[in-house]
Amino acid sequence: MNKIKIKEIFESIQGEGPYVGYKQLFVRFCNCNLKCNYCDTEFSSDNDYIEYDACELADAVNSYNTIHSVSLTGGEPLLAVDFLKDFLPRTDKKIYLETNATLADKFEEVKPFIDIVSADIKLESSTGIKDSIKFHDKFFDKCRGIETFAKIVFNNEITDEEINNCCELGKKYGIELVLQPVMENDKMTVTSEYAAHILDKFLEMYEKVRLIPQVHKFLDVR
């Protein structure tokens, strides 16, 4: 049975999106297919990892009894799709996938095992990544029938075109949009007034939008 490198497994409080405050088990996968400007997560497979096969990881995950769900995070978990297809049927926990929403075909292979999708919409103004909308469009189309919401990390360079593109995706697929200001430690990099202003601009075009900063950074938890 093939093994995969897992960066870490830990219990903590979900600090992003509409599931803020729920206790989760985080399984952090190594490696990512993107490189966002604001990313502060260590997910390299070069060192400090543990190798698991599907049975070993399932046994580890199934031993936790007081969690709301298992957050597959990274990095980008869908890069390990072959491993996920072997691992996920072996656990009875609710599965919460955190993804950059660019690997639609890989997601489709594990869709039957996913309960909640926390998907990013990558803005060029905050990530440096261009033309991500076409990948997100395809990804959200694959998410039909599964509880899905989109996180939008923004700074003070967000453009009206980006806001419009996000709202059009939200309306097309009926998903909730969660605005998340870029953070430095436990501080937002934009003012509260600016964040509220951006929320209003979104709400002028689409009603299912919320502003939720990274609460775990205020709580000083992982």
CATH code of residue 100: 3.20.20.70
**Cβ atoms 118, 96 nearer than 8 A:** yes
From first to last of the 222 residues of the chain, give the pLDDT tens digit: 789 999 999 999 999 999 999 999 999 999 888 787 766 666 555 678 899 999 999 999 999 999 999 999 998 999 999 999 999 999 999 999 999 999 999 999 999 999 999 999 999 998 888 889 999 999 999 999 999 999 999 999 999 999 999 999 999 999 999 999 998 888 888 999 999 999 999 999 999 999 999 887 767 776
Nearest to 122 by CA among 71, 79, 166, 59: 166
Q: Model's pTM, two decimal places?
A: 0.93
Nearest to 209 by CA among 179, 181, 186, 180: 179
Domains contained in the chain, number? 1
Full domain range(s) for residue 134: 3-219
| Type of residue numbered 93 | K
